[in-house]
C-alpha cells in the first residue's frame, strides 16, 4: 500500500510536470507566433525599404540604410531559427514527460492489480482457514461427545451389572 501511495505521488508529480511543460509549450508557441508575425512585418517593411533603396542607389545614405536593413533581416531570421529550435526542444520535453507519465501509470496499474491479487489470495486463505477451524472444532466436539457417551454407557452398564437399581 505504501508503494502504491508512492507511485500515486510520483504519478501526480509527473502529471504536474507534464501540465507545466504543456503550459510552457503553449506559451512558447504563442510567443513564437507573435514573434513570427512581428518578424514578418519587420521583414516586409525592410524588404520594401530595400526595394526602394535599390531604386535610389545614387544616394549614399540610402545604401547605408539598405545595408543595415539587410543585416537586421538576417538577425531576425537567425532569431526565428533559434525560437523554432527552442520550440522543438519544448515539444520533445513534453513528449518525454508524457511517455514517462504513461510508463508510471502502467507500472502503477500493474502493481495495483498485483496488490488486488494478493488481497484476494489472502482472503481465500483466510476463508479456508476459518473453514478448517470449523471442521476441526466439529471433529473435536464429536470426539468429546463420543467419549462422554462411551463413559455414560460404561457407567450405566456397571450400574446394571451391580444390581443396585433392583434394591432401590
Q: In this structure, is residue 156 part of a structural domain?
A: no
Q: In this structure, is residue 132 part of a structural domain?
A: no
CA–CA separation, 25 and 93 (whole Å): 9
Q: Which domain holds residue 100?
A: 2-127
CA–CA separation, 69 and 26 (whole Å): 31
Residue carrying the nine cell digits 481465500 = 124
In the prediction, which pLDDT does 60 show? 63
Nearest to 44 by CA among 72, 82, 83: 72
List the chain pLDDT tens, one digit each, 168 residues.
777 788 788 888 888 888 888 888 888 888 888 888 888 888 888 788 777 767 765 566 666 777 888 888 888 888 889 888 888 888 898 889 889 888 888 888 888 888 889 888 988 988 887 777 677 787 887 888 889 888 888 888 887 777 665 555
Long-range contacts of the stretch 10-15 (C-beta < 8 A, 24+): 10/104, 11/101, 11/104, 11/105, 11/108, 14/97, 14/100, 14/101, 14/104, 15/101
Question: In CATH, what number is assigned to the domain containing residue 68?
Answer: 1.10.287
| pTM value > 0.85 | no
Q: In this structure, is residue 84 part of a structural domain?
A: yes
Q: In this structure, is residue 167 part of a structural domain?
A: no
Phi, psi at residue 69, to the nearest 5°?
Answer: -65, -40
Q: In this structure, is residue 95 part of a structural domain?
A: yes
Number of domains comprising the chain: 1
Amino acid at each position: 500500500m505504501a508503494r502504491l501511495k508512492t507511485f500515486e505521488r510520483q504519478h501526480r508529480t509527473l502529471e504536474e510536470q507534464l501540465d507545466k511543460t504543456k503550459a510552457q509549450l503553449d506559451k512558447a508557441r504563442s510567443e513564437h507566433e507573435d514573434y513570427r508575425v512581428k518578424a514578418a512585418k519587420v521583414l516586409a517593411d525592410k524588404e520594401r525599404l530595400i526595394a526602394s533603396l535599390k531604386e535610389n542607389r545614387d544616394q549614399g545614405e540610402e545604401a547605408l540604410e539598405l545595408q543595415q536593413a539587410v543585416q537586421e533581416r538576417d538577425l531576425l531570421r537567425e532569431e526565428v531559427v533559434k525560437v523554432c529550435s527552442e520550440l522543438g526542444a519544448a515539444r520533445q520535453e513534453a513528449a518525454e514527460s508524457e511517455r514517462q507519465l504513461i510508463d508510471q501509470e502502467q507500472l502503477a496499474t500493474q502493481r495495483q492489480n498485483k496488490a488486488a491479487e494478493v488481497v484476494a489470495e489472502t482472503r481465500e486463505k483466510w476463508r479456508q482457514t476459518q473453514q478448517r477451524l470449523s471442521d476441526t472444532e466439529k471433529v473435536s466436539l464429536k470426539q468429546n461427545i463420543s467419549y462422554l457417551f462411551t463413559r455414560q454407557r460404561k457407567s450405566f452398564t456397571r450400574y446394571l451389572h451391580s444390581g443396585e437399581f433392583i434394591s432401590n
